Chains A and B, each alone.
Chain A
Amino acid sequence: MDEALLRSLIPGVLGALVRRGADFAAAEDAVQDALVEAIRTWPTDPPRDPQRWLITVAWRRFLDVARADAARRRREDLLDEEPAPGPAVSVDDTLALYFLCAHPSLTPSSAVALTLRAVGGLTTRQIAQAYLVPEATMAQRISRAKRTVSAVRFDQPGEVATVLRVLYLVFNEGYSGDVDLAAEAIRLTRQLAAVIDHPEVAGLLALMLLHHARRASRTAPDGSLVPLAEQDRGRWDTTVIAEGIALLQAALARDRLGEFQAQAAIAALHADARAAEETDWVQIVEWYDELAQLTDSPVVRLNRAVAVGEADGPRAGLVALAALDEALPRHTAVAAYLHERDGNLVTAARLYAEAARKAPNLPERDHLTRQAARLNTSLSR
């Protein structure tokens, strides 16, 4: 059975139930139950119309639960209603579901969990495994999130930007757990792009694809990080890069620049270079300038200092870096790199070791420790 196809039907099914009067939380549970049933029965007994099958089974399931729940007598007028015939699923439902699951009243982690379950159709167990927390904890996080949005009207229009932030968070979680969150984020963003025409949605999808295309080359067989300049570009997925670039160009042509398009433009310039030395760093610096105007994020200015170091030499990079707060994450790592490029190997080795102690994750720490060790070894020869 095609699980991706099955899961792509979920937003429409859930939306249909909510439109028929089911409350969101109960409808979401019913859809999960219908999915379990589909996975059990479809291999031997495939339905003619999978989406209608899911709606019918989920709706019955919802009614069973509502019937059993004596406290919910006010829903009795729904109890014997069969699903209305005709087109059950609308594009608007899918979009409404994304907005609801990314509602601003939710914390980022709740919005992420709810989106993965209600829009993505992942089970609570899968989401818990992906985020390395107990299943009971994730179940609570999801049910709280459902309660939080229970008063929100389903068809209330939302902000595309909040949805994009949630999808970005899912993608950026990386490849840690059993579930491929990066691939799931791409699937959900693709699905969103199919129901809303917005240059930043296209920009985010392009950004994800351009990074995903480099995935195979990002880590060595032992799990250590491979910096961009040292990656085997022959292993980059050119089909995915081409798709990302095409999406980005179409988005940029509409002249409504946003931060994801700008980030994607930077990723595209890296993807375009057949060798690290061919990277167009001057253009990359220009894009970082655009990005800094759009977000004013200190991380952007730090990355800009790296790009300046490549475009105009390490001294220029160090000057750009000197204007930034030393407490910024990775500030020391950038300083170490620029000092090495400038030939100050003793300073660079000291800074790499210091940066390793401050690293926010294990692969980065190991990478920085190796850089320090490499310089110290060559200095002592």
Chain B
Amino acid sequence: MAKYLLLKHYRGAPAAVNDVPMDQWTPEEISAHMQYMSDFAARLEATGEFVDGQALAPEGTFVRYDGEGRPPVTDGPFAETKDLIAGWMIIDVDSYERAIELAGELSAAPGAGGKPIHEWLEVRPFLAAPPTITQ
């Protein structure tokens, strides 16, 4: 019983095996990809392991505090930002092994040519509450 974030990157992950930009797929391939993703989420809901899934726009803005009484400073987007998150899925599973298994399945989503993308997903454990019994 632990939560994991499965992170999908626009940029910053190692290159996928089937690394073709989505705008060069056929429309049917895009539909097949979307279907795979929603089937995957539905299956996790059915197994009681789904917590959340969201996609993010590629363009973001950097913001920081600029002192009392002043509006926040904004900047970006920066073309040189190395790490760009595309979206995530949060799962609640019995083991780390199960998290890895599911990430592997998600990475098999079909892409160009209807073949699996083999994209690299990042699996990050949540920092949870401390256990009651420690000693």
Contact = CB atoms under 8 A, between A and B. Distances in A.
Contact of A109 (B94, B125, B130): B94
B129 A173 contact: yes
Chain A residues touching B, majority SS? helix
Interface in A189-212: 207, 211-212
Contacts of A134: 50-52
Interface stretch (A23-31, A48-56, A94-102, A138-146): A138-146
B127 A109 contact: no
Interface string A347-381: 00000000000011111110000000000000000
Contacts of A110: 48
Interface in A279-306: 303, 306
Interface stretch (A33-41, A174-182, A314-322, A337-345): A174-182
A132 B3 contact: yes
A171 B132 contact: yes
Given A109-B94, A112-B1, A303-B135, A137 B48 contact: yes
B128 interface: yes
A361 B130 contact: yes
Nearest to A207: B133
Contact of B132 (A107, A138, A172): A172
A229 to B, nearest CB: 11
A141 B46 CA distance: 7
A144 B48 contact: yes
Nearest to A182: B132
A141 B130 contact: no
Interface in A121-138: 131-134, 136-138
A257 interface: no
Contacts of B47: 140-141, 144
B122 interface: no
Contacts of B59: none
A361 B3 CA distance: 12
